Structure 1
Amino acid sequence: MTDTLIDRDWAVMMARYNAWQNEAQMRAADALPPRERERDRGAFFGSIHGTMSHLLWADLLWLSRLTGTPAPEAGLAESPRQEADWGRLQSRRGETDAALAGWAAGLTDEFLRGEVRWRSASAGGEVALPAGRVVTHVFVHQVHHRGQIHAMLTAAGARPEATDLFLMPEGAA
């Protein structure tokens, strides 16, 4: 079975959206005192910082599976602490968003009609899925956790920007 509902242009758009939203949320979080970013707010990965760190970890993990770059050494349980230093998290987020954008720009129809195989600790073994579904997961995972971050930022008194895709500025990312 293949998933052919997406194409390179969709992935490029989603990579732009991803970078735009990550930048906006980083700016909103940067305006908060460190204790507010690090406060456990009951989210799956605890805090704003922890959830942002998990997203970085996940993107690095997916890039390793899709491009052969090194995988994070930490596992899922350690992902909220992937980048404990706020400044380093900010810079690595930007670098990783650029890497995702470059990867998306290089996608081919042949790849998207193919299959991606990897070993997953979460699934307990080898996984093989249509590439289109994997690419979709990479971006949907981001949206899911950024929704949590948006709620935590709002609860902390920050004013995050709009998240609607149709409001993404043409020149974003």
Structure 2
Amino acid sequence: MSSTEYCTTMAQYNHWMNQKIYTICAEVPNTKRNEDLGAFFKSIDGTLNHILVADRIWFGRFTQNSFVSKLSDILYSDFDQLRQERDRTDQDILNWTKQLNSEWLEAPFTYTTITTPTKTVTRPAWLLVTHFFNHQTHHRGQLTTLLSQLGYDPGVTDLPYLPTL
């Protein structure tokens, strides 16, 4: 598998998993989704918003369409709107991965950090794109734990079960 195929596969996987997670979250009452459950971003909705914020920050960096926000910002307090924006962002990410090329992925990529705006970091683009997808997976793992604790079964979450494989 080439690095560009990897990116597209991960975009498909993240979209599939986001759809699964949001479908389950839609069953959870608003009060429970917004309850502080002791997670890093407090609630289920807080974590869903964080994933979207981080994706938009990284996607903005990659596409030179800057998106500035705090990592803990609640972009959408309305769950239906959050879900629509998640789906739209996933489609944008998937379309973007389909036009990536090896040269871009192998080149150095420099960005300014959110936490220290005066600091820039340079890493190979492929490493940062890998982090981009890994970050979603990390926080979805937190979400599946929170959902399980509330009695909701997230089902199979493993990459080999991606329906398009």
Larger RCO, structure (CA 8 Å, separation 6 or more):
1
SS at match of 2:72: helix
Partner of 2:81: 88
Structure 2 runs not aligned, ≥5 long? none
Output the TM-score relative to the length of structure 2.
0.94
- Give the Å deviation of 1:146: 0.3
Distance, in Å, in 2 between the alignment partners of 1:115 and 1:41 is: 39
Query: Which secondary structure does the structure 2 equivalent of 1:77 belong to?
Result: coil
Cα distance in 2 between the residues matched to 1:31 and 1:121: 33
> Is the 8 Å Cα contact of residues 17 and 157 (structure 2) preserved in structure 1?
yes
Q: Among residues 71, 80, 83, which one is paired with 1:76 in the alignment?
A: 71
CA-CA distance at 1:123 after TM superposition: 4.8
Q: Map of 1:53-72 to 2, 5 A cutoff?
A: 53-72=49-68
- Alignment of 1:31 onto 2:23: no
What is the aligned length? 164
How far is 1:122 from its partner?
2.4
Q: TM-score, normalised by structure 1?
A: 0.90
Asked if residue 138 in structure 1 is aligned to residue 132 in structure 2, the reply is: yes
Q: Equivalent of 2:111, from 82, 98, 118?
A: 118
Q: CA deviation at 1:121?
A: 2.8
In structure 2, which of residues 116, 141, 149 is the aligned counterpart of residue 147 of structure 1? 141
